[in-house]
Structure 1
């Protein structure tokens, strides 16, 4: 087998035991707890879960964008090098160039006193060899790609002159400017209408196909996961509780939390039935329950779920679940 073929089976990104802890007056708070996953070249991995499950902090931790009082530990291997131990100067070459991130809140991510053109060209100047004229042409092309009308005229506008959805499109344009090999997308289509959302998702997938770009896609929208992702990892209280291919997880969930998320989404073509819901709310990260963090909301919980925390274990090739009763969950899901 050739070396080129071999590399296709090596992860583009390999995350091992990623842990992020914030020191607070009330004691340490673990926002990301021993999270591990691989992303293959050209693969789209969806991180799914309710608000507060640790998805966004996970993305920021990968790029060392968590600052004091937060501390990040673990290993994040990118092209054979650990991003968490890389020198800051080297990391700056990677950020925005080979690895780009789309932040969830464009209003706070964009600089209010710089024009859109300056902010797009800042990325191009740092990570490409384009001259001034080429950078301007590329900036116009990017704004047009993400669906901003009159792209050339709007280059000179400031962020406050754009709507929330338009700001998000500008953020996406900046992230895609230098054709990154890994895109970290933190709910990039949340503020967009359905038509533009579909265009943005198609654009990301087209770039994935053209450049073998890998994507880690954070979302709470299971429809987006079904449309976009190859594999998914479900997060709860800072941990991954289930992972596998989108097809496998959607058709046969093994964790009660995953089952609850899927049960709350209407399915097209099915008979009209009541949607299920997950009772209660996610726990505060400062007061995560002992044992399985999901047990206070779980219909399958038994005594050992309260006493011990289940490990994330393989149940089949490519399938991981952290649940003592995963077989019972899968059996009930198959019966309904």
Structure 2
């Protein structure tokens, strides 16, 4: 199967996945107890005013009518308007997506920068001091929640290093350096725990590959240790790590919310929680849709990376 055919197949599959997600979310959020109109007007609101607001918001229509109306707007790129503020959902999402995606992307990059070198070192120096130190760092990261790491970073680094802010977010439009400084601490808080998990995966994968027949053949041919390590062992050991990293990207997006609260950053996570509390259905649906889209896109990118890591892997599963 060629690249174009593979991408077409994955895109069609992704469309069905996204359709399933938006459908489930649409009906799920409306099954949660709570009336948006009553939350907006208060518990003692006049019944006539409540009914008028429900009619204005389109909440008095049958559920299937609301669904098809929202789906029709979505197909034209219209995510609807926030029930609470009346602002376009897409506009609200564009204001908060930048911080979350920036922190998640840099956090995953930090996780890989921690996991790959320490995982390689731990496998090459198995049962030596380097292995024990790397394993300790990995378990240290796995055992600590991201928000706690964020608090420690604020107390240890943010307070003592003036150029690094500990509160708020600077858009990249105001400069790459201020933007980077504003997300480095939350990104490290997010990425460090996943770096520990990926490091353990990297170590296990390297040790598993080490015992394969082709590794013994490569060493028997007299190839140098570095060539065997980077050309044969690392190339084959990276595949499961990349797969897990792609899955973690979506998990990171969901886990950024606690870190956003610690660092006072308004992102997708805080927007989603606020929307759920206010029963702002269009905003909930739009936020989940964006997160789901990033997850689907990340999985497609991971599949494409396979052939870059290991050229023997062909699209369609043949090798």
* TM-score, length of structure 2 as denominator length: 0.22
Q: Which has the larger radius of gyration?
A: 2
* TM-score, length of structure 1 as denominator length: 0.21
Q: Which has the higher contact order (CA 8 A, sep 6+)?
A: 2
More strand by share: 1
More helix by share: 2
